[in-house]
Amino acid sequence: RGLIPRRVAVTGAQGLCPYGFKAGDAFNIDQQGGLSAPLCRTAVEALERATSTSSGDSKLSTSCKCPLRDRHLTFSLDLDRVSRA
């Protein structure tokens, strides 16, 4: 069994995200991993890393640093437990 995020909220932001994300924004992830908002590769990798190393908590947080400039986002994730085939 694994965990997938169902709702991701931006809880902190330093600098302007090139994708326009700011603290208070949120997006959803469906069962197939589809996003309701576009994300950069760095943010997707941070979310994947957080869910793959989760200890089973239903909520967790992670962050990413933009490779373009000194920008930083912090995310809070609500997780669902799913079975992996």
Phi/psi for 6 (5° steps) reads: -110, -30
CA distances to 35, 69, 76, 85 from 62, rounded to whole Å, are 17, 19, 7, 26
Model pTM?
0.80
Q: Check if the beta carbon of residue 11 is closer than 8 Å to that of residue 76.
A: yes
Q: Check if the beta carbon of residue 72 is closer than 8 Å to that of residue 65.
A: yes
| Contacts of 65 by beta carbon, 8 Å cutoff, 6+ apart | 42, 71, 72
**Range scoring the smallest mean pLDDT among 12-16, 21-25, 68-72:** 68-72
**Residue 82 confidence (pLDDT) above 70:** no
